[in-house]
Every structure is written in C-alpha cells, then in structure tokens.
Amino acid sequence: MVTATLAELTEKGYDQLTVDAICHRAGVHKATVYRRWGGVDGLIADALALSADQPWPIPDTGNVDEDIQLLALEVYTTFTDPDLRTTPTALIGAALRSTLGAAALSAFFTARHQQAAEIVTRAVKRGQLPASVDPVELVRAATAPLYHRLFITGEPLDEPAAHRAAAAALLAARASLFDAAAP
Amino acid sequence: MVTATLAELTEKGYDQLTVDAICHRAGVHKATVYRRWGGVDGLIADALALSADQPWPIPDTGNVDEDIQLLALEVYTTFTDPDLRTTPTALIGAALRSTLGAAALSAFFTARHQQAAEIVTRAVKRGQLPASVDPVELVRAATAPLYHRLFITGEPLDEPAAHRAAAAALLAARASLFDAAAP
C-alpha cells in the first residue's frame, strides 16, 4: 500500500491523490483501505512511519565535523537531486497538509534526530565535542535551515547553504550554546 | 475580506474553511469572491500579502545582540502567546496547504527578511558586525530554527530555543560563516 501511495503521490500530487487510484494500483479493495487507514491522509502517515523505521547510513568518518557536514549534505542531496527529490519532497509536502500527516511527520523527525544523534555521542566519546552538548540539538540545528528553505520559505537550497548550516551548528555546540539543560 | 477570512480560519480551521461562510461574514457576494480571489486559497494568499506589507516594529536598541535576540523572541511570542498565536499559526498552516498559499508565504518571508535585515545593516554601520556579513542570512538563521519547530517537526518551542537560535546566528556571523558571496 505504501509503495502504491508513494507512486500515486509522486505522479499526481496531493491535490489529485485518491483512495480509488491507490487501490487500483495496489490491487486492494477500497473497503480494506478505508477500514485500516481511514483515507489518503492515513496512508501518507503510514508511509512516513515506515520511512522513520527504515535504517539509513549515518555518516561515520571518525571526524565529527565531516560527519555533520555529510548529514547536512545528505538532506541537501535528497531534496535537490532530480532523481531522488520527487518522492521525499511530495511526501513531506503532503504530510504538512493534514493533521494526521503532521503528527506522523513530527514522529518521523523525532526518530531521525535520535538516530543521527549517534554522530554526536560518538564524537563526545572521541573527545571531539564537549560532553555537555545536547546531541539532538546539534543535529536539529545542522538540518533545520535546510528544511526551513525547502518547506517554509520556499527559498532555493544550494550546497553552500548546507555547509553553512553544518558549520554554524558545530560552532554553536563548541561554544556551549547547545548544552543539555542541567538535570 | 481579509478580516473575514482570518476570522473564519481562526474559528474553524483550514479544513472547514468555505467561501460561503467567509462571504456571509463579510456581507459580500460569492460571485465577487470567486472572480477576484478564485477561492479560499486565493483569500489566504491575499491575507499573507497584506501582512507582508504591514509595517512592524523592528528592534532598534543600538546593540545588535539585543536586537537579534528580540527578533527571535518576537517570533517566539507571536506563535506561543495564547492571545496572539491563534491567527498567525492558522494563517501559516493554511498557506502550507496549497500551492497558491505556499507562493504567498515565500513572498511574505522574503519581505520580512528584507525588513529585518535593517538590524544587521545598522549594526555594520556601528561596527558591531563585520561588513562582509549577509544581512538576510543572519536574520534567517536567527529565526529558521523556530519556524522549523513550529511548522515542520512540531516540536515544542520555548524561550531558551529562541535565545539559542539568536546566539548561534550571531556567533556564526562573527565567525564569517554568513559572509555574502563575493560579487
């Protein structure tokens, strides 16, 4: 169902997305889809939940500056490469269009931030970052400016913007601006 | 029409927003609205265009660190104060739900960034920031993490997050990370 949903979404966009077309593509009965997913927004939320669970290669070069740069670059590439960008761009755009989708998107980012925080905890163990830094805050800061351009301001995203976001986040972390709150 | 659109949007949300109800509230004929605005998404785009044109108080304390902190705090207050947050939150949320709205939102942020860039150009004249800094990039960096939490990840936004965003943006600007590209 997820594959059919993403294919329909990518081809037709959210405004033209129908349960009918998704069912036809997947060879599944409409009643089943309405019962299990409620409608297109439930299918989109499910596609995001599955994406959140999927393992993805977290940069691990041994150098945190390089790892955080690669993390930002991965976001840049995912949403700008003509061969890669269509489906993830459509999926996040669609998620922003419903309450159900927005909740799934929030859970998706929580999962991604937690996974990528590994970059920071490894760097702390290697002594490349102060132990006081909040790993999720550093990951969030390195990628937030990219998503902000892509999905809020609609400004163009180029590679220097990804480098700036990563470098600014590392600088702030080393200046103790992203320290975890004292327990 | 904008007042009626915002009132209906705030009361009922985007999913329940209808041209009928907006026309009834404004005492305007439906045909006029469809002719001039095309539908609810055109009305929302128009509301954003009017907001973009409205003058707003740009912080001007004489100290750029304070000004950028106040800028981030203004975003924080606008979208978290129970008396203020409802309409702007609904308006930006609604704009993200249509292509027409997204284009208007992009123009809205371009206008806001340009206006707030004044904080940076004044600071450069006072010698508080290097002349090489890109004023819009500093403004963008100080506010992007807030919009990212509010409208993309759905993470809670608190005052320390606003302070962190402002401080990290100033630090990066002073480290020449936000320098304008050489002409």
**Domain-terminating residue out of A49, A66, A81:** A49
> Which residues lie below 8 Å from residue B138, measured CB to CB, with a gap of 6+?
B68, B117, B120, B129, B169, B170, B172, B173, B178
Q: Comparing C-alpha atoms, which of B96, B143, B144, B115 is closest to residue B52?
A: B115
Whether A62 is in a domain gets the answer yes
Whether residue B180 lies inside any domain: the answer is: no
- When pLDDT is averaged across residues A74-81 and rounded to a whole number, the result is 96
Average pLDDT over residues B26-48: 94
Contact of B101 with chain A, judged by CB distance below 8 Å, is answered with no
CA angle B151, B139, A64 (to 5 degrees): 75
Indicate whether A181 belongs to any domain. no
Measure the CA–CA gap between A143 and A179, rounded to whole angstroms: 18
Q: Tell whether B97 is within 8 A of chain A (Cβ).
A: yes
A118 burial via Cβ count (<10 Å: 0-12, 13-18, 19+): middle
Q: Is the dihedral of CA B119, B120, B125, B128 positive or negative?
A: positive
Q: Tell me, what's the pLDDT at A35? A: 95
Token pair listed for A110: 């929580």
Q: What is the mean pLDDT of residues A63-68?
A: 98
3-state secondary structure B96-109: CCCHHHHHHHHHHH
The per-residue pLDDT for A53 is 84
- Asked if residue A154 belongs to a domain, the reply is yes
With 90 as the cut, is the pLDDT of residue A181 above it?
no
Query: Could you list the residue range(s) of the whole structural domain that residue A159 is in?
Result: 58-174
B109–A152 CB contact, under 8 Å: yes
For residues A175 and B167, give the distance between their C-alpha atoms in angstroms, rounded to a whole number: 10
User: Percent of chain B scored above 90 by pLDDT?
Assistant: 89
- The candidate with the shortest Cα–Cα distance to A92, out of A142, A156, A148, A141, is A148
- Check CB contact of B116 with chain A, cutoff 8 Å: no
Residues B171, B149, B87, CA angle at the centre, nearest 5°? 115
Mean pLDDT of A81-106: 92
CATH number for the domain that contains residue B109: 1.10.357.10
Residues B91 and B144 placed together within one structural domain of the fold: yes
Q: What confidence tens digit (pLDDT) does each residue in A93-102 have?
A: 999 988 899 9
Question: Rounded CA gap, A57 and A118, in Å?
Answer: 11
> Percentage of chain A surpassing pLDDT 70?
99
Is pLDDT at A179 greater than 70 in this prediction?
yes
Taking residues B50-65, what's their average pLDDT?
Answer: 91
Percent of the residues in chain A that have a pLDDT greater than 90, as a whole number: 89
Instruction: Specify the pLDDT at position A182.
Output: 62
Are A123 and A140 in the same domain? yes
- A103 contacts in chain B (CB < 8 Å): 154
- Residues B106 and A78: their CA atoms lie apart, in Å, by 21
CA distances A26 to A13, A21, A22, B182, Å, are 17, 9, 6, 52
Per-residue confidence (pLDDT) for residue B124, from 0 to 100: 97
In a domain, A122, yes or no: yes
How does pLDDT run across A105-163, given as a tens digit for each residue? Answer: 999 999 999 999 999 999 999 999 999 999 999 999 999 999 999 999 999 999 999 99
- Say which amino acid occupies A20: D
What number is the average pLDDT over the span B10-22?
93
Residue A179 main-chain phi, psi, to 5 deg: -65, 140
Indicate whether B92 and B167 sit together in one domain.
yes
Say yes or no: B87 and B151 in one domain: yes
Q: Whose structure tokens read 């998107």?
A: A105
From chain A, pick out residues whose CB is under 8 angstroms from the CB of B102. Answer: 154
Domain assignment of residue B106, yes or no:
yes
Q: Minimal Cα–Cα distance from B144 to chain A, Å?
A: 6
pLDDT at A33: 93
Once rounded to an integer, what is the mean pLDDT over residues B102-108? 95
Are the C-beta atoms of B129 and B173 separated by less than 8 Å?
A: yes
B91 and B132 both lie in a single domain: yes
**B104, B123: one domain:** yes
Model confidence at A183: pLDDT above 80: no
pLDDT score at A29? 94
Q: What are phi and psi of B172, to 5 degrees?
A: -65, -40
Residue B44 shares a structural domain with residue B81: no
Contact between A67 and A167 (Cβ < 8 Å) = no
CA distance B76 to B80: 6
Answer yes or no: do A148 and B148 touch at CB < 8 A. yes
A68 & A21 share domain? no
Domain membership of residue A182 (yes or no) is no
Q: What confidence score (pLDDT) does residue A8 get? A: 95
CATH number at residue A9: 1.10.10.60
Are B33 and B84 part of one and the same domain? no
CA nearest neighbour of A119 among A59, A52, A56, A174: A59
CA A106 from chain center: how many Å? 9
Residues B117 and B45 in one domain: no
CA distance B146 to chain A (A): 9
Amino acid at B80: T
Look at residue B183 in the predicted model and tell me its pLDDT: 56
The verdict on residue A183 lying in a domain is: no
Total structural domains within chain B: 2
The answer to whether residue B154 scores a pLDDT higher than 90 is: yes
Are B94 and B162 part of one and the same domain?
A: yes
Chosen from A134, A152, A157, A177 to mutate, greatest number of chain B CBs within 10 A: A152
> Are residues B141 and B77 part of one domain?
yes
Give pLDDT tens digits for A17-52.
Answer: 999 999 999 999 999 999 999 999 999 999 999 988
DSSP per-residue codes, chain B: -HHHHHHHHHHH-GGG--HHHHHHHHT--HHHHHHHH-SHHHHHHHHHHHHHHS------SS-HHHHHHHHHHHHHHHHH-TTTSHHHHHHHHHHTTSHHHHHHHHHHHHHHHHHHHHHHHHHHHTTSS-TTB-HHHHHHHHHHHHHIIIIII-----HHHHHHHHHHHHHHHHTTTTBPPP-
